[in-house]
Amino acid sequence: MSDASYPDDLLYHPEHDWARVQDGAATFGITWFAQDALGEVVFFEPPDVGSTVTKDEPYTEVESVKAVSDVIAPLSGEIVEVNNGLAENPETINDEPYGKGWLVKVKLSDPDEVSSLLDAAAYRASLI
């Protein structure tokens, strides 16, 4: 597993999700803290492209050997792409939570929601 990290170029939701926002769209994933708490991810089934996600609501699940965990949407919008590679290699979520372990890409329906997210320093502080 990777070492703890919370990149400065991402925004964070208190439920341990991150968003990389660019031009009215965003990539979502779970944070290092979330994957560490969950343990080795053994199953991820991507949600459907075209489905809508709502900020603060669960939009998919990740599963370790021991438990299943809801993933909360940090922002609202429509899923335009999913990381299909994770079905074969779900442990990528542990190895590269901010890189190849991304979960979905979303076209944002309310870009103003971005202002409610935490920056890396605020998220790190919330973990203490």
Partner 1 sequence: MSSASDTALRRTSLYERHAAAGARLVPFSGWEMPVQYTGIRDEHLAVRRDVGVFDVSHMGEVQTCGPQATAFLQHVLSNDVRRIPEGGAQYSVLCREDGGILDDLFTYRLADCDYLTVTNAANHEKDLAWMQERAAEFDVDLIDRAPELAMLAVQGPRARDLVRGLADGRLPPRMHCCQRDVAGVPMLVCGTGYTGEDGVELLLEPEHAPAVWDALANAGATPCGLGARDTLRLEVCFHLYGNDMDERRNPIEAGLGWCCKDETGFVGSATVAAARAAGTPEKLVAFALQGSGIARQGNPIHGGGAVTSGTFSPCLERGIGMAYVPADRAALDTRIEIDVRGTVRPAVIARKPLYQTKGP
Q: Which residues bind partner 1 (CB under 8 A)?
A: 1, 39-40, 42-43, 45, 61, 63-66, 68, 87
What is the distance between the terminal CA atoms of the chain, rounded to a whole angstrom? 21
- By the 8 A CB rule, do 11 and 73 touch? no
Shorter beta-carbon distance to partner 1: residue 9 or 61 = 61
Rounded to the nearest whole angstrom, what is the least distance from the CB of residue 69 to partner 1 in the complex? 12
**Of 58, 62, 67, 73, nearest to 101 (Cα)?**
62
Rounded to the nearest whole angstrom, what is the least distance from the CB of residue 2 to partner 1 in the complex? 13
Rounded to the nearest whole angstrom, what is the least distance from the CB of residue 68 to partner 1 in the complex? 6
Question: What pairs with residue 68 in β-bridges?
Answer: 63
Shorter beta-carbon distance to partner 1: residue 38 or 75 = 38
